[in-house]
A and B are shown apart, each in its own frame.
Chain A
Amino acid sequence: MSAGGAFGGNRGARPVPPEKGVFPLDHMHLCDLEKKDYINCLKFEGHKSEKCRHFSKKYLECRMEKNLMAKQDMSELGFRKGDELQFPSDEEYSDRIVK
């Protein structure tokens, strides 16, 4: 039944707040490097999220360290242990940034 869109559709639905709440803003730019790494990785990999997962993991770990995010086990957020080992040479990407 596609009645969800028929009868005034989203009228009853309200925007759902995020599960874990709001990211406190990184005013001090503490995790900027990790973020830049991730963005560059996306650019080089054709915006494929799975290839840059280890960078996003690093970014989230950085945030947890700097108290910008509630500390949590990475597996709970969907990061499996295999992600770390996929691209051992992270320096490749950082070199590209420098150049």
Chain B
Amino acid sequence: MSFSRLCRGTHFLSSSKVSICQAPFLSRHLDAVGSRYSSYIGESNSIVSGTPFGFNRRCFVSKHGYNLRIYSAKKSHPINVGRQYSTQASSTERKSNKMLFYLTGLVFAMVGCSYAAVPLYRRFCQATGYGGTVQRRESVEEKIARHTQDGTVTSREIVVQFNADVADGMPWKFVPTQREVRVKPGESALAFYTAENRSATPITGVSTYNVTPMKAAVYFNKIQCFCFEEQRLLPGEQIDMPVFFYIDPEFETDPKMDGINNLILSYTFFKVSEDK
């Protein structure tokens, strides 16, 4: 398709296209010039689609074969022309191969970039704090030590409410032992949850947590809790699960946290396995 467009673009080339394939005789000048142009077209064609080139090639042969005959009559350089023809074809092949490798490489590079973008962006955000990402380099103990040293005094009282959920099909009773805790930022606080296995078989569960509102979650640090690890309860066993947490004093100075005085810490237990 592009070949025909190319040909339509230049009147000369279209005429040469016709002349290449049909006329057995041509003026030598037209041949010499036309051969150069058609070789260019043939080259570009090889990249776009296979068959026109193949079609051209056959014509090439006839034309060059004709040329060969002419040249052998006029000048004795049959080998040169033959070599020229073979190198021309292989050079176009090499060029098209190179193009193929380059393009495939480009595709893979693009796909690789899109995969690499996720962790790279996250690292960038952590390094620059862009978009409010909190640098999680400092451990809680270091933070506590730093604030005790600075002598930061906090005045705002925050109410932390507790919520407990159990996944479907999990026969545990899971409730917070206290409904809420009033704590000031910078004070480590302890809270309890009670879980009871109401079934007749030992069940293993794992829990995950959530803090709402989400933008306050960056200031909520859990020093120690019972989440993310499998906990096994025997049938009928009731157990207390503590959570030891700490709200960053920087919570008070952050203007985004102005209207937030309530935090909800929510735990959900999922069933991992049941021993029978």
Residues of A within 8 A of B (CB): 1-5, 7, 9-10, 12, 15-23, 25-27, 29, 32, 35, 38-39, 42-43, 46-50, 53, 56, 59-60, 69, 75-80
The reply to whether B222 and A19 contact each other, CB–CB distance below 8 Å, is: yes
The reply to whether B226 and A23 contact each other, CB–CB distance below 8 Å, is: yes
In the assembled complex, B18 has its CB within 8 A of some CB on chain A: no
The reply to whether A77 and B188 contact each other, CB–CB distance below 8 Å, is: yes
Instruction: Find A22's partner among B122, B177, B228 (CB 8 Å cutoff).
Output: B228
Question: Which residues of the other chain, A, contact B188 by a CB distance below 8 angstroms?
Answer: 56, 77-79
CB-CB nearest 3 A-B residue pairs: A78-B188, A56-B190, A4-B132
The reply to whether A2 and B209 contact each other, CB–CB distance below 8 Å, is: no
Contacts A22-B224, A42-B178, A50-B183; is A3 near B241 (CB within 8 Å)?
no
The reply to whether B140 and A26 contact each other, CB–CB distance below 8 Å, is: no
In the assembled complex, B231 has its CB within 8 A of some CB on chain A: yes
Cα-based distance from A83 to B187 in the complex (angstroms):
12
Instruction: Find A18's partner among B131, B223, B240 (CB 8 Å cutoff).
Output: B223
Min CB–CB distance A53 → chain B (angstroms): 7
Residues of B within 8 A of A (CB): 118, 121-122, 130-133, 136, 139-141, 144-145, 148, 157, 159, 177-184, 186-190, 192, 208-210, 214-215, 221-229, 231, 237, 239-242, 244, 246, 256
Min CB–CB distance A45 → chain B (angstroms): 9
28 contacts between A and B (CB under 8 A): A2-B215, A4-B131, A5-B215, A12-B121, A15-B228, A17-B228, A18-B223, A18-B227, A19-B140, A19-B223, A20-B140, A22-B224, A23-B241, A25-B226, A25-B239, A27-B237, A43-B178, A50-B184, A50-B187, A56-B189, A59-B242, A76-B141, A76-B144, A77-B188, A77-B223, A77-B244, A78-B187, A79-B188
